[in-house]
Every structure is written in structure tokens, then in C-alpha cells.
């Protein structure tokens, strides 16, 4: 057991190092693709119970949704979405801020508008604050 | 006592296979005594023997040693024909197929460590497929893939290094001891 670490290192051939690195890369990819529950990939906007917009979270945009009280503005950014403004009296859905997890929902009840995030592997069916 | 009418004469090759398989079985049984955090994550020390046999005596003998080890090891551990046995068998078969290809890689670049890691990945791959199709018909089994993949890299590396080391010492010994010593090398 007096052997040095370098002695073991000498047993590795150049290709072996590559195989080890490739193996670690497979681990990394597996973690990224299998253990990333909860990352949202899309948003669904409903008004009066009907889906008015289904968008992906790839690029920024503003969606204006008309309701009984006025216009609710939904803001989409890469990886997140929020209700930017709403004519409702208590502003609960606006104050919820940015939604970042799949399954998260913001509901503007007075104006009958809701925003929910969807994802391939949601950790929660529905998430509210 | 009537003398047996069937005469089996083991060839030197048979003896060699039996000896290597015995060494592999010892490692399998010893390994079963090691407590492990997750079912399915094992060092697979017996594969060191498979790697050594592969390098010194070729793929055909490695197949014999590996399959005998799976069979006898499961008998000794009371696992024969239990789910664990089929998982071992599928893993062993997949590893052997990959080893058959990996052994053809240029020797200057790829040594036992590469073979060991590639075989380990084949092993977990086949086991996960069998587990998914038969034992746990749910995609949840793939949730553990990252753990198994990491184990494959780590244990593949360790086993490969030990095999490479053994091979180096066996070669040094057989070149020192002359031609007669080649068949008589001892494992461990």
C-alpha cells in the first residue's frame, strides 16, 4: 500500500481518460434531463374558463386579455411569467409576482383571468400563493 | 462400484476457466457482504477477473468465466431464478457484448479502464431495460439513472485500474518466469 497515486495514473491510457470524461458527461446529462422537475416550458392563459393563449416561455412578450372589468396584462419572459397589471380591486394575482415553477397558477378572480405554467415534469399539479 | 462409462477429460482450457470462474465467484460472494445504500449499486469486483481473462485469454473464455460466475454466484447466494438473477444475467450478457467490441479498440489508446467503464454502462443499461419492461413497469426506474451512471463511472474506473495493475504484474511475472508460468498465474 506504499504505492503512490501516480503509479495508478500510469495505468490509464489516453483513451481511458476520454472514456472517463464521457462517462461523467453522461452522468451530467442524465441529471439535467431527469432531475429537473419543475422547470416550466409553457404558459396557459384563460379568460372566463376558456383558453385564450397558450405560449412557450422562450421569448418575451405581453398578452392583453379582456375580461368583464377591463384588460389584464400578462407578461412572459424566458422561463417565467407574471400578471403585470389587472383591473381587479385587490390585486392578488399581480402581487404574486413572477411564476417560475411548472404548475404555478395566478388567478385574477374578479376579471376571470388565470395564468398557469406548464412543464413536462411538474413537481406539483397546482401551486398557489 | 461400477466404473463410470463416461470419461470426461478436462482440457487445460477447462481448468483455466474453472479457476478463473472460482476466483470471480469468491469476489461475488464477498461483495454480497458489503452493505450498500441503494439496491443495484454494486462495485462488481468479479468483473476484474473477467477483464483479466479477456486480456490474457480472449473473449470466448471471458464469456465462460462471466456466465459461470453469474450462475454459480446466484446459486450460492440463493438468488437463482430470482429477479436479481435475471438482472445479473442481462447485465453480464450486455457487458460481454460490449467487451467483445471494446477489446477491438486500438490498444495504444484504450486499456482495461475503457473496457471496464463501457461494460459497466452496458450493464446498467441492460438492467434498467429489464427492470423497466418486467419488474417495475413504470418510467420511475429511470429516475435513478444518474446514480447508476455515476456508479458505473466510479466502479468501472476502479475495477479497470485494478485489472490493469494485475495484468501488468502478471505480465512481468510470466516474462520473468519463462513460458511455463503462463498457465499458472494466480488471481489476487
Domain membership of residue B70 (yes or no) is yes
DSSP B122: H
Domain contains B7: no
- Decide if A23 and B152 are in contact by the 8 Å CB cutoff: yes
| pLDDT score of A123 | 65
Q: Is residue B140 part of a domain?
A: yes
Shortest alpha-carbon distance between residue B1 and chain A (Å)? 54
A52 phi and psi, to 5 degrees?
-105, -20
DSSP sequence for B100-114: HHHTTS-TTT--HHH
B121 within domain boundaries: yes
User: At residue B184, does pLDDT exceed 50?
Assistant: no
Going by pLDDT thresholds of 50, 70 and 90, the confidence category of residue B183 is very low
Question: How buried is B28 (Cβ within 10 angstroms: 0-12 exposed, 13-18 middle, 19+ buried)?
Answer: buried
Distance between CA atoms of residues B149 and B2, nearest Å: 56
Q: What is the reported pLDDT for B1? A: 66
Q: What is the mean pLDDT of each run of 10 residues along chain A (129 residues)?
A: 73 90 92 76 89 88 91 91 92 90 88 87 68
Q: Which secondary-structure segment (H or E) carries A58? A: none
Mapped onto helix, strand or coil, the DSSP state of residue A80 is strand
Q: Is residue B103 part of a domain?
A: yes
Residue B67 maps to which CATH number?
A: 1.10.1760
Asked, for residue B100, whether it belongs to a domain, the answer is yes
B158 touches chain A (CB under 8 A): no
Q: How many CA atoms lie within 13 A of B113 on its CB side?
A: 26
| Residue B15: other Cβ atoms inside 10 A | 11
pTM of the model: 0.71
Q: Dig out the grid coordinates for A44 from the structure.
A: 396557459
- Quick one: pLDDT at residue A5? 78
Contact assignment for B108 to A13 by CB distance below 8 Å:
yes
Q: Does this complex have an ipTM over 0.85?
A: no
When divided into structural domains, chain B yields a total of: 1
User: Among residues of chain B, what percentage have pLDDT more than 90?
Assistant: 61
List of residues 6+ apart from B178 with CB closer than 8 A: none
Range of the domain at B159: 14-32+40-176
Amino acid at each position: 500500500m506504499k504505492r503512490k497515486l501516480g503509479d495508478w495514473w500510469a495505468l490509464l491510457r489516453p483513451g481511458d481518460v476520454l472514456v472517463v470524461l464521457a462517462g461523467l458527461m453522461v452522468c451530467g446529462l442524465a441529471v439535467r434531463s431527469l432531475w429537473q422537475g419543475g422547470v416550466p416550458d409553457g404558459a396557459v392563459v384563460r379568460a372566463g374558463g376558456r383558453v385564450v393563449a397558450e405560449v412557450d416561455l422562450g421569448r418575451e412578450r405581453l398578452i392583453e386579455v379582456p375580461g368583464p372589468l377591463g384588460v389584464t396584462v400578462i407578461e412572459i419572459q424566458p422561463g417565467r411569467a407574471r400578471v403585470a397589471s389587472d383591473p381587479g380591486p385587490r390585486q392578488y394575482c399581480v402581487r404574486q409576482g413572477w411564476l417560475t415553477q411548472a404548475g404555478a397558477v395566478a388567478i385574477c378572480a374578479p376579471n376571470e383571468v388565470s395564468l398557469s405554467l406548464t412543464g413536462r415534469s411538474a413537481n406539483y399539479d397546482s401551486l398557489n400563493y | 462400484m461400477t466404473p463410470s462409462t463416461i470419461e470426461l477429460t478436462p482440457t487445460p482450457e477447462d481448468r483455466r476457466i474453472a479457476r478463473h470462474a472460482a476466483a470471480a465467484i469468491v469476489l461475488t460472494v464477498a461483495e454480497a457482504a458489503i452493505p450498500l445504500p441503494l439496491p443495484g449499486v454494486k462495485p462488481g469486483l468479479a468483473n476484474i477477473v473477467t477483464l483479466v481473462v479477456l486480456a490474457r485469454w480472449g473473449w470466448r473464455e471471458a464469456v465462460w468465466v462471466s456466465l459461470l460466475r453469474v450462475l454459480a454466484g446466484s446459486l450460492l447466494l440463493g438468488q437463482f431464478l430470482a429477479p436479481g438473477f435475471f438482472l445479473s444475467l442481462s447485465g453480464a450478457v450486455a457487458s460481454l457484448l460490449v467487451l467483445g467490441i471494446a477489446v477491438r479498440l486500438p490498444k495504444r489508446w484504450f486499456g482495461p479502464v475503457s473496457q471496464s467503464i463501457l461494460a459497466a454502462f452496458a450493464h446498467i443499461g441492460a438492467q434498467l431495460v429489464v427492470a423497466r419492461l418486467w419488474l417495475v413497469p413504470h418510467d420511475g426506474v429511470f429516475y435513478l439513472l444518474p446514480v447508476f451512471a455515476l456508479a458505473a463511472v466510479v466502479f468501472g474506473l476502479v475495477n479497470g485500474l485494478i485489472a490493469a495493475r494485475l495484468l501488468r504484474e502478471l505480465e512481468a511475472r510470466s516474462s520473468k518466469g519463462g513460458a511455463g508460468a503462463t498457465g499458472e498465474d494466480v488471481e489476487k
